[in-house]
Amino acid sequence: MSLDRIQALRKSLHDHNFRYYVSDNPIISDFEFDKLLFELSELEQKNPDAFDPNSPTQRVGGEIVKSFDSVVHRRPMLSLSNSYNQDEITAFIKRCQSVSGEELDLSVELKYDGVAISLCYENRKLIRAVTRGDGVNGDDVSVNIRTIKNIPLILPNVAPNELEVRGEVYFTSDAFEDLNKKRFDSDGAKFANPRNAASGTLKLQDSFEVATRRLSALMYSVYSDEFDFKTHIESLRLISEWGFPVPNQESGWIRSCKSVDDIFQYLSFWDTERHSLPFAIDGAVIKVNSILIQEKIGFTAKSPRWAIAYKFNSEKVLTRLREVKYQIGRTGAITPVAVLDPVWISGTVVRRASIHNADQIAKLNLHEGDSVWIEKGGEIIPKILEVEISKRLIGSNPIKFILNCPDCHSLLERKEGDAQHYCLNMDTCKPQIKGRLNHFIHRKAMNIDGVGTETIDQLVEIGLVHKPSNLYELDEEDWFKLDKFRDKSVKNVLAGIEKSKMVSFERVLFSIGIRHVGSTVAKKLSKHFGSIDSLINASESELLDVEDIGPMIAKSLRSYFSNQSYLLEIEKLRAIGLNFKSEVINKSGNKLVGFSFVISGVFEFFSRDEIKKSVEDNGGKIVSSVSSKTDYLLMGSGVGPSKIKKADLHGVKRLTENEFLRWIGSSK
Ligand code: IVH
């Protein structure tokens, strides 16, 4: 009985999902939908044998994958050759015409700026979703793709048994902005553009997180050994009846064109109108519509000869330079930034543009009040392309790079061979002090609970802190001197500071902020040298022996460790109790032998890989989904509610990160 109900609920939820996300024609409210989904989820938990990866409940994600399997594409995934002007398109059409021998019918469509995906269906069920990879092998990212609401998981009976549909996974502008806002609020990191965001999201190991990010898909090619598609446009129309999202013909996202003029008209229309679309495109694609003629024209090794991409120019606008400001980084590096008259470009208001260094100012020959052409390419920060000389104000002065630090007024220095100017006053130049402290407390560094940039600002301004070790010397009374700090927040911050003493050596090494030593380099160094003492004593050539450590990093390390004040600070931090040695503890430990763990959420002291490794190093076993055989659900923050529910249902014990640390006896 409940199995029948499960089937009925699945069918009904798939239908409602299609109505909501593909045909934009829902007939039940969100509340009713959630009620049905909840009922199905309860029934599935009571009937684990009825598990189906294509159930609508799987769209919320929750599964953690260790790594994606590499699979061979059933048909190689080729790319498109590019064209940038009308002559190249005319030549392409002529070539196609000469092979086909007849007047051509061409499909012209948008080129979505996302990530290519191949969806394979067998017996009308999604069995695999694979990224393009190198065109021959791709990654099986099915768990993540199943969370994309407008991708059908089950097809109707009219669809063939074997079907492969390819298309683009992308972020709508709304979903992208949402995601970046959330990311910025949580750790200040933003994706540069929707394409990077889509590609990063598909590679996430936590499908629950993927589900929250609202990816979309649009399909552009169809293949089946069992079905004769006559034309490309017809094939898309057919698959749309089977539930796939395809380009909207009424909105002109795809059109059949018979003449070169038709095509040029289409291209120039979308070149200007593309910003009104709800997603990013980077051009258009022109394809021979007839499948028979496509086959006649054939392929090169890399791309079909019957299709070509046309890339739009990126948008350029003219605006006025108000002034050049100078930012001071934590290393003392000075970066000039152009402050502009606000101007709309590619759907956002631009107020600033980056100018990398003094050479760039000279190269652009920037003058005060110049009108400048700016371009927002694929990246978020626009750049100045050139000055519009015809608009230069008579008598305006060239912009001169500053000689003194805008904050502490020390004379700036530029070393030979270095493009950047530096303020060398690292001891009292406040932006540098704040920059170093902000780096130290950052989530990816020491991750100190209760301390943020505002707190650092205050601590430095009132002179309580100017290097990391000072943070550990503050007592309750000091914290009460800050705005917004009351009993509870003071308690929290003191606990957060105490907890940071458990952070691993590799992260401490990253946190102290050696130039060019990012988190990956810190990891490599800590693994190779094992302790700060061996690292301090390593010669430049010993440093160069480490994988991926080049002369620039080696020099930077040597110069850092030959500075007495840095060495003194390291000694202070060591005395305070920070980790300056790699933990090899419990490497061959057996504390977790016989126990299996499901890992979910984001952890404070471990990356996903680190915590898995730690479980395995201690003899535990990682399993990907919760079942009655699982012993523990090891939970980070943001663990999926469905996971917790499932764990409770199967009597799987919940384990927090701190409990785990205590269990393995790590001093992370
Ligand atoms: S057709 C044989 N149509 O552009 C190639 N591709 O290098 C078939 N793309 O990786 C691709 N929009 O991910 C096609 N309307 C569209 C497209 C499109 C975006 C992407 C695709 C491919 C890249 C071309």
Q: Whose CA is nearest to atom 8 of ligand 1?
A: 79
Q: Chain-centre distance of CA 61, in angstroms?
A: 18
Amino acid letter, 372: V
Assess whether 97 and 242 both reside in one domain: yes
320-334, 337-351, 530-544: least confident range: 337-351
Q: Whose CA is nearest to atom 12 of ligand 1?
A: 111
> 435 CB less than 6 Å from ligand 1?
no
Starting from the edge strand earliest in sequence, which strands make up the sheet with 653-656, in order?
Answer: 621-622, 596-600, 632-635, 653-656
Q: 111, 376, 467, 668: which is the annotated catalytic residue?
A: 111
Tell me, what's the pLDDT at 586?
A: 44
Count of domains for the chain: 6
Q: CATH number of the domain at 267, please.
A: 3.30.470.30
pLDDT band at 182 (very low <50, low <70, confident <90, very high): confident
Select from 113, 168, 289, 303 the residue to mutate for testing ligand 1; criterion: most ligand atoms less than 8 Å from CB: 168
Looking at the domain assignment, is residue 58 inside a domain?
A: no
Query: Would you say residue 181 has pLDDT above 90?
Result: no
Q: Chain-centre distance of CA 170, in angstroms?
A: 12
Looking at the domain assignment, is residue 340 inside a domain?
A: yes
Span 74-89, mean pLDDT? 88
> 139 CB less than 6 Å from ligand 1?
no
Looking at the domain assignment, is residue 193 inside a domain?
A: yes
Span 544-552, mean pLDDT? 87
pLDDT band at 658 (very low <50, low <70, confident <90, very high): confident
117-121, 171-175, 577-581, 610-614: least confident range: 610-614
Amino acid letter, 60: V
What is the chain's mean pLDDT, rounded? 90
Asked which of 280, 305, 330 is the last residue of a domain, the reply is 305
pLDDT band at 347 (very low <50, low <70, confident <90, very high): low
- Which DSSP letter does residue 64 get? B
**At a CB cut-off of 8 Å and minimum separation 6, what does 43 contact?**
2, 5, 6, 9, 50
Cβ atoms of 405 and 334 within 8 Å: the answer is: yes
Q: CATH number of the domain at 365, please.
A: 2.40.50.140
pLDDT tens profile 294-303: 999 998 888 9
Q: Rounded to the nearest whole angstrom, what is the distance from the C-alpha of residue 198 to the centroid of ligand 1?
A: 15
The rounded distance, in Å, linking the Cα atoms of 97 and 323 is: 55
CB atoms within 10 A of CB 439: 20
Query: Would you say residue 367 has pLDDT above 60?
Result: yes
> 304 CB less than 6 Å from ligand 1?
yes
Q: Rounded to the nearest whole angstrom, what is the distance from the C-alpha of residue 80 to the centroid of ligand 1?
A: 6
The rounded distance, in Å, linking the Cα atoms of 331 and 432 is: 6
Encode 252-269: b = buried (16+ Cβ within 10 Å), e = exposed.
ebbbebeeeeebbebbee
Cβ atoms of 465 and 437 within 8 Å: the answer is: yes
Assess whether 189 and 262 both reside in one domain: yes
124-133, 169-178, 342-351: least confident range: 342-351
Assess whether 544 and 518 both reside in one domain: yes
> 57 CB less than 6 Å from ligand 1?
no
Q: Which atom of ligand 1 is nearest to the CA of 116?
A: 13
pLDDT tens profile 8-24: 999 999 999 888 888 77
Looking at the domain assignment, is residue 421 inside a domain?
A: no
Does residue 111 carry a catalytic annotation? Answer: yes
Query: Would you say residue 246 has pLDDT above 90?
Result: yes
Distances in Å between the Cα of 506 and the Cα atoms of 312, 344, 642 are 45, 43, 34
Q: Whose CA is nearest to atom 13 of ligand 1?
A: 116
Assess whether 281 and 161 both reside in one domain: yes
Q: Rounded to the nearest whole angstrom, what is the distance from the C-alpha of residue 41 to the centroid of ligand 1?
A: 37
> 220 CB less than 6 Å from ligand 1?
yes
Q: Chain-centre distance of CA 259, in angstroms?
A: 41
Assess whether 298 and 338 both reside in one domain: no
Assess whether 144 and 101 both reside in one domain: yes
Q: CATH number of the domain at 615, please.
A: 3.40.50.10190
Looking at the domain assignment, is residue 266 inside a domain?
A: yes
Q: Whose CA is nearest to atom 22 of ligand 1?
A: 79
> 479 CB less than 6 Å from ligand 1?
no
Q: Which atom of ligand 1 is nearest to the CA of 167?
A: 13
Quickly tell me which residue has 């919320």 as its tokens. Answer: 60
Query: Would you say residue 314 has pLDDT above 80?
Result: no
Q: CATH number of the domain at 498, please.
A: 1.10.150.20
Distances in Å between the Cα of 337 and the Cα atoms of 128, 383, 407 are 47, 10, 15
Beta-bridge partners for 383? 354, 375
pLDDT tens profile 384-425: 999 999 999 999 999 999 999 999 999 999 988 888 999 999
Q: Which residue has the higher pLDDT, 279 or 547?
A: 279
- Which DSSP letter does residue 371 get? E
Assess whether 101 and 193 both reside in one domain: yes
Asked which of 254, 272, 305 is the last residue of a domain, the reply is 305
> 285 CB less than 6 Å from ligand 1?
yes
Q: CATH number of the domain at 19, please.
A: 1.10.287.610
**At a CB cut-off of 8 Å and minimum separation 6, what does 324 contact?**
336, 337, 338, 339, 355, 361, 366, 399
Looking at the domain assignment, is residue 289 inside a domain?
A: yes
Select from 132, 169, 220, 235 the residue to mutate for testing ligand 1; criterion: most ligand atoms less than 8 Å from CB: 220
Q: Whose CA is nearest to atom 14 of ligand 1?
A: 220
Distances in Å between the Cα of 517 and the Cα atoms of 264, 423, 523 are 50, 20, 9
Assess whether 542 and 605 both reside in one domain: no
Q: Whose CA is nearest to atom 9 of ligand 1?
A: 111
Q: Which atom of ligand 1 is nearest to the CA of 247?
A: 15
pLDDT tens profile 593-629: 888 999 888 887 887 778 888 898 888 889 888 888 8
> 111 CB less than 6 Å from ligand 1?
yes
- Which DSSP letter does residue 516 get? T
What domain range includes position 297?
A: 82-305
Q: Which atom of ligand 1 is nearest to the CA of 109?
A: 15
Beta-bridge partners for 140? 130
Q: Rounded to the nearest whole angstrom, what is the distance from the C-alpha of residue 77 to the centroid of ligand 1?
A: 10
The rounded distance, in Å, linking the Cα atoms of 407 and 410 is: 8
Query: Would you say residue 228 has pLDDT above 90?
Result: no
Tell me, what's the pLDDT at 585?
A: 47
Assess whether 168 and 206 both reside in one domain: yes
Cβ atoms of 364 and 455 within 8 Å: the answer is: no
pLDDT band at 161 (very low <50, low <70, confident <90, very high): very high
Count Cβ atoms within 10 A of the Cβ of residue 545 and give its class: 0-12 exposed, 13-18 middle, 19 or more buried: exposed
Share of the chain above pLDDT 70, in %: 97
The rounded distance, in Å, linking the Cα atoms of 362 and 336 is: 12
Looking at the domain assignment, is residue 400 inside a domain?
A: no
Element (H, E) at 361: helix 358-364
Beta-bridge partners for 556? none
Tokens of 402: 């500053």
Span 225-231, mean pLDDT? 90
CB atoms within 10 A of CB 639: 22
Assess whether 260 and 382 both reside in one domain: no
> 113 CB less than 6 Å from ligand 1?
no
Assess whether 366 and 235 both reside in one domain: no
Helix (H, G, I), strand (E, B) or coil at 143: helix
pLDDT tens profile 84-100: 788 889 999 999 999 88
Select from 73, 75, 109, 111 the residue to mutate for testing ligand 1; criterion: most ligand atoms less than 8 Å from CB: 111
Looking at the domain assignment, is residue 583 inside a domain?
A: no
Q: Alpha-carbon dihedral of residues 354, 358, 360, 361, nearest 10 degrees?
A: 90
Assess whether 26 and 109 both reside in one domain: no
Asked which of 248, 271, 305 is the last residue of a domain, the reply is 305
